[in-house]
A and B are shown apart, each in its own frame.
Chain A
Amino acid sequence: MSTLQVRVWRGGPQGGDFHPYQVPRRASQSVLDVVTHIQRMLDPSLAYRFACRVGMCGSCAMTVNGVARWTCRTHVDKVCADGRLELAPLANLPVIRDLVTDMSEFFDKWTRARGRFQGRRGRHDDFERVAPDSPARKQVDAAIECIGCAVCYSSCDVVAWTPGYLGPAALNRAWTLQRDVRDAAQAERLRAVAGDAGCHACHTQLSCTERCPKRISPTSGIAGLKRDALAAALKGEL
């Protein structure tokens, strides 16, 4: 049986270091299996997050060999040709301890981008009709499956360079609402997501699109927001 040489970042807000561990390699092993083995068998003080372990919740996202991934859906065989694994917390987020980051800022930006649905109708009104094959709904459907894992946010350089930048996930969610025919808050939301803390700071690096485990393209939605913002500005509505 072969052995994986695993280096895991251990530390806190003040800083930290990579610690080495040796983990037995097994068939069909996921990176989450590796982290779990370390915490249960080698070092119980290791802090890390997971929940569903089947690629639905997004809790287990971390940096694996330099790239942000879901550890539960990443087979060791895929990322580790030479038997070496390097695990670190997600980038662009403050570290609480070891592999656990503080996600508050990520979700605060979601709020700042007004990523919340606001309907027009009440309980006594008839249902609002949404045609599933309309162009607008298709655009929403392409972006709606986001589970808030922060892989895109962690992969974006503009997030690192511009502290106030809302980021791909928040802007993507705002985009889905801008094309939702039921939503009544589109004018205010556009004002919230435009500007150099918003969609105009995106430089189409496409790292978000490259890394999103749900195959969403936040870049595409952000481009839509840019077009909407220009149209609104020219009409004097922004």
Chain B
Amino acid sequence: MSVRREALLWGAQRLSAALLALCVVVHLATMIYAAQAGLSAAQILARTRGNVAWLSFYSIFLLAVLVHVPIGLRAVLSEWLGWRGASRDAVLVAFAAALAWLGARAILGVFL
């Protein structure tokens, strides 16, 4: 991969990290609130279904995850498994696609 692409991947990783920092704070605070209020699954779903604001938030969250996770795993695969090159990147793209599909199903299931 060209150095320009490497630099842009690095930039995308940091940008998605900054975005995820915000999303994770909201997500953790929400989970802590739900646990503290003792909300059941049915009660949570009653609040999330049809909620456009939460739907938008988690869609952005998912997009940031889809950028951040594969780029993060890329370094682990090359350094700890010695896996470099096009095949590694192809597998990571496939993983991202699978995660995107599962994530979209989850968002639809919880927020639609």
Contact = CB atoms under 8 A, between A and B. Distances in A.
A and B touch in the complex (CB under 8 A): yes
A233 B79 contact: no
Interface string B1-38: 11110111111000000000000000000000000000
B112 interface: no
A2 B37 CA distance: 67
Given A196-B1, A203-B75, A233 B7 contact: yes
A198 B1 CA distance: 13
A230 interface: yes
A127 interface: no
A6 B1 CA distance: 48
Contacts of B3: 191, 194-195, 198, 229, 233, 238
Interface residues of B, number: 14
Nearest to B14: A230
A173 interface: no
A219 to B, nearest CB: 15
A238 B79 CA distance: 25
Contacts, number: 45
Given A194-B3, A196-B1, A198-B3, A233 B78 contact: no
Nearest to A228: B7
A162 interface: yes
A234 interface: yes
Contacts of A162: 78-79
A230 B11 contact: yes
A63 to B, nearest CB: 22
Interface residues of A, number: 18
Interface string A164-202: 000000000000000000000000000100111010110
A232 B20 CA distance: 25
Interface of B: 1-4, 6-11, 75, 78-80
13 contacts: A161-B80, A162-B78, A191-B3, A194-B6, A195-B1, A195-B2, A198-B3, A200-B10, A226-B7, A229-B6, A230-B11, A233-B3, A234-B11
Given A161-B79, A195-B2, 7 more contacts: A195-B1, A196-B6, A203-B75, A230-B7, A230-B8, A232-B7, A233-B7
Which 4 pairs from chain A and chain B are nearest by CB? A233-B7, A195-B3, A194-B3, A161-B79
